[in-house]
Each structure stands twice: as C-alpha cells, then as structure tokens.
Amino acid sequence: MQSSADLRSLHVARFGAAPEIFAAPGRVNIIGEHTDYAEGFVMPAAIDFATLAGISPRSDGKIVIYSENFKEERSFDAAALPAAANHYWSDYPLGVLAILAGEGYTIPAFSLSIWSDVPLGSGLSSSAAIEVATALAVLSLIGAEIPGPKLARLCQRAENEFVGSACGIMDQFISANGKKDHALLLDCRDLSYKLAPIPPDVALVIANTMVKHAVTGGEYTSRRAQVEEAAAVIGRHRPEVKFLRDATLEDLEKWGSEMSPEAVKRARHVISENERTVEAADALIQNERKKLGRLMAEAHWSYSRDFEASCVEADAMVELAQDLPGLIGARLTGGGFGGCTVNLVEADHAKEFAAELAMRYVTRTGIQPQIHICHASDGARKV
Ligand code: ADP
Ligand code: MG
C-alpha cells in the first residue's frame, strides 16, 4: 500500500463500493514538550506521512472498519455502538463516533478503510491522524462540516474521554490545521496560533530510535500530576496562577521548597520550555538558525534531566547528531521514553546526515534506526 489509489482499490475490493478518501497527517513537534496541558505554547509541524480514511455508505445498519495496518476488520451495529473502550485499535475511530453522537450527530451505517504510513506508536501521532481522518470522513458522509480548531477539540475529547489517554490538544490541532512549509506556534490556552515559515533549504529529519520503553504504567499521568502539584503550590501564593504557563522561574525559586523535589524539576522544565518555545518561533521567523539550534539543545536536556522523560537511546541519537554537517538543532520529540528525535538540517546535507546518523546510532546501540527526511505539510483534507 502506498497511495490513495491503492486504498481506493482495497476499499472497492473489500466493500464493493467506491469510497471518498480523506487524509490527516502525523506531526513532529519542533519544540514545546509537555507544555500543552499547562496551557502553554507548542510548535509542531504536520509532516508528509498521513493516515488515509476511505468511506462509503452501507444499507445493512453496520459500521465496518478495516485497518490495513493491522490487517483486521471490526464490525459494529450503528444503532448500538460500544459506549466504552475495549483497548483495541478500533477505540480511536469509535471514540470519534461517540463524541460526534454526543454532539447530536446521527451516525449512519458505513464502511471505513484505514491505512497509515505514520509509524504507529513512535511519537509522530498516528492516533490523532486516525481520529481526524475518521472525523472528516464521517462528517462528509453526513454532509456536515466542522471548522479545523473545533474538529481538533472533538478528536482530543475522543482520545481523552473514550480511549482514555490524557493527551493535550497539540496533536489533533496540527493534524487538522497544519500548513505546508510552516510550523505553527500554538497557544494551547485559547488555540490562537501564528505560522512560522520553515525555509525551503531546511529539512525535518526524523530519527526513530526504534525503542519505546514500557515505563511502569502511567508515567505520562504521574508527570502531569507533578506539573499540576507545582501549579497548585504556586497558585496558593499567586492565585492568578492556575497553570504553569502563568508561573515564572522566580516563583519556583520562592516556593519550590513547598513541593516534592520531582514537582520542582518537572515545573522547571515546563516553565523554561514554554519560554524557549516562544523564542524558538521568533528565531524561526527571523531565520536565526544558531539561536534555534541552541534552544532545541536546551529543550532536549531539560526534557532529559529535569522532566526525566528521555532514555539512553534518545540521548545518544541527539548527541551523535551534534557534529554532523548541516545540523541546525536536534531534540527528542513526542511523549518521551523513546520514539523519535527531530533534527532541523540544511536540506543539502539531509541525505548524508541521515546516513551518517544511522551508522553512528547502530554502532553505538546495536539498533538499526529508521530515519525519514520530511517536509512540513498541509493539515487534514479530502484527497
Ligand atoms: P502515536 O500517536 O505516537 O503514534 P499512540 O499510542 O498515541 O502513538 O497511538 C497509536 C495507536 O493508535 C495504535 O496502537 C493503534 O491503536 C491506533 N492507530 C493509529 N493508527 C492506526 C491505524 N492506521 N490503524 C489502526 N489503528 C491505528
Ligand atoms: Mg498519540
């Protein structure tokens, strides 16, 4: 499977009807990690890997969803959709249906075929991509339209409330609203945003460490709780601080002694990361590459040392990139504990950069990485 034409043939062969096809991209976060639920700033770009969803109506009252990635079909009764997750990939599309139904839309019977070239579970947000692609497909079948920012909120709710994962708004927002050749500085407080052009001679090189450490359950949740603990302590002294977005490093110096040592470190990451993200958007807009690189390096080590969400392999992938020709900046991207690093690289050097980084990484770790040379792409759309 390689293209929308392939998905069309697959859908026709399986379901005997021609589909309408929608695409929603994965994303890479250039900077701004774990700032979204602190109502802060993030700066992702949609990438040229996407999830495709083909949809056609059915007349037997069923909703049948096929994922080519899992080579598996799941069938449901449109009139009696599951009310809760059952820890299966189909939770993601079902969650979208549940949220749309809760918004008052009547969900008709349909066949849905899904295929994605976003690597699943690698921190490039295949989950938001499948949610947004499903939402667009179903809305088009119903003949309804929802603007991108609202669509992103509904898909985030599908993941929070149905799938049961406490993600912020970033992934769904960028998948729905990305813009070709741009990163997007998103204010997670009010969803206002500013586009920052990525110069044509800069490539996004995404290096998959191929590890995803199974941290003893709930690391994301515990980090989030520590961030909230820090915000609550500061808020006791400065009631206008409801989220760490409103706090400063000075606040942390003054009242850090009232928090657990973990909360102090997590908060130091989030508060400084928020500042770095706004500065990085400026640096990108002004094309100040040295500054951008420095901010990405600081972000990585803050994520690794204070937020303690990196791992040996991701630290190695960042270190090994440092003296390669063409590198502008490198850091671990996504939820942490493995997954991918994002490297901003001068486009002329991207190919050799990728090859050399792969060689160094396999020598250091014994693991063959996957390295992709990507470009910022448009958000979700009809194909
Ligand atoms: P990420 O969003 O970083 O890729 P997640 O763990 O948030 O990782 O989401 C990955 C999960 O989303 C998969 O394990 C699967 O359940 C679901 N998913 C994503 N893409 C697809 C797909 N194309 N087909 C079926 N399920 C998918
Ligand atoms: Mg995800």
Angle, in degrees to the nearest 10, between helices 170-177 and 126-142: 50
- Residue 122 pLDDT level (bands cut at 50, 70, 90): confident
Ligand 1 atom nearest the C-alpha of 123 is 3
Q: Of 115 and 335, which is predicted with more confidence?
A: 115
Strands 370-374 and 20-31: unpaired
From atom 8 of ligand 1, which residue's Cα is the shortest distance away? 121
Cα 126 to middle of ligand 2, angstroms? 6
The 3-state DSSP class for residue 47 equals strand
What is the average pLDDT score of the chain?
96
In this structure, the residue with its CA closest to atom 12 of ligand 1 is 127
Confidence at residue 216, expressed as pLDDT on a 0 to 100 scale:
59
Find the Cα–Cα–Cα–Cα dihedral 69, 182, 176, 302, rounded to 10°.
80
Q: Which ligand is nearest to the CA of 87?
A: 1
Q: Ligand 1 in contact with 1 (CB < 6 A)?
A: no
**Encoded tokens for 94:** 């079902």
> Per-residue confidence at 61, pLDDT binned at 50, 70, 90?
very high
Is 171 one of the annotated active-site residues of the chain? Answer: yes
From the CB of 70, is ligand 1 less than 6 Å away? Answer: yes
DSSP string, 163-188: I-----SHHHHHHHH--TTEEEEEET
**300 near 330, Cβ under 8 Å?**
yes
Q: Is any ligand 1 atom within 6 A of the Cβ of residue 304?
A: no
Q: Which pLDDT score is estimated for 165?
A: 87
Nearest atom (ligand 1) to Cα of 92: 17
Instruction: Please name the helix (run of DSSP H) or strand (run of DSSP E) that holds residue 268, with its range, or none.
Output: helix 261-285
Asked if residue 333 has its Cβ within 6 Å of ligand 1, the reply is no
Indicate if ligand 1 lies below 6 Å from the C-beta of 88: no
Judge contact between 230 and 217, C-beta under 8 A: no
Q: Are 63 and 2 in contact (CB under 8 A)?
A: no
Which pLDDT band holds residue 335 (cuts at 50, 70, 90)?
Answer: confident
Catalytic residue selected from 36, 91, 171, 315: 171
List the one residue out of 345, 357, 297 whose CA is nearest residue 199. Answer: 345
Residue 266 pLDDT grade (very low, low, confident, very high; cuts 50, 70, 90):
very high
- Distance from residue 377's CA to the centre of ligand 1 (Å): 20
- Please give the pLDDT value at position 166: 81
Q: What's the CA-to-centroid distance between 125 and ligand 1, angstroms?
A: 7
Q: With CA atoms as reference, report the closest residue to 231 among 247, 220, 217.
A: 247
Give the pLDDT confidence score for residue 57 in this predicted structure. Answer: 98
pLDDT per position as a tens digit, 283-318: 999 999 999 999 999 999 999 999 999 999 999 999
* Alpha carbons 181 and 353: distance in angstroms, whole number: 21
Distance 237 CA to ligand 1 centre (A): 41
Of 182, 166, 185, 171, whose CA–CA distance to 228 is shortest? 166
Model-wide pTM > 0.85: yes
pLDDT score, position 267 = 98
160 lines ligand 1 (CB under 6 A): no
The answer to whether 55 touches 19, Cβ cutoff 8 Å, is yes
Of ligand 1's atoms, which has the minimum distance to the CA of residue 116?
23
For the chain, the distance separating the N- and C-terminal CA atoms, rounded to the nearest angstrom, is 16
Q: pLDDT-derived band of residue 178, with 50, 70 and 90 as boundaries? A: very high
Would strands 193-197 and 182-187 be described as parallel, antiparallel, or unpaired?
antiparallel
Q: Give the CATH fold of the 4-197 domain.
A: Ribosomal Protein S5; domain 2 (3.30.230)
pLDDT score for 121: 86
For the record, the structure tokens of 83 come out as 């009310």
Percentage of the chain with pLDDT > 70?
99
Residue 271: per-residue pLDDT:
98
| pLDDT value for 167 | 83
Whether residue 102 has its Cβ less than 6 Å from ligand 1: no
Quick one: 378 exposed, middle or buried, by C-beta within 10 A (0-12, 13-18, 19+)?
Answer: middle
pLDDT of 168: 85
Q: What is the pLDDT of residue 219?
A: 81
Q: What is the mean pLDDT of residues 98-122?
A: 95
What is the average pLDDT across 155-184?
95
Token couple for 143: 């003949």
Amino acid 299: pLDDT: 98
CA–CA gap between residue 63 and residue 60 (Å, rounded): 9
Give 115's strand partners: 52
Q: Give the distance from CA 368 to its chain's centroid.
A: 23
The yes-or-no verdict on residue 268 having pLDDT over 90 is: yes
Cα–ligand 1 centroid distance for 267 (angstroms): 29
- Compute, in angstroms, the gap from residue 118 CA to the centroid of ligand 1: 9
Q: Are 100 and 135 in contact (CB under 8 A)?
A: yes
Alpha carbon 342 to chain centroid distance? 12
Q: For ligand 1, is residue 164 a contact (CB within 6 Å)?
A: no
Tell me, what's the pLDDT at 1? 66
Residue 217 has pLDDT above 70, yes or no: no
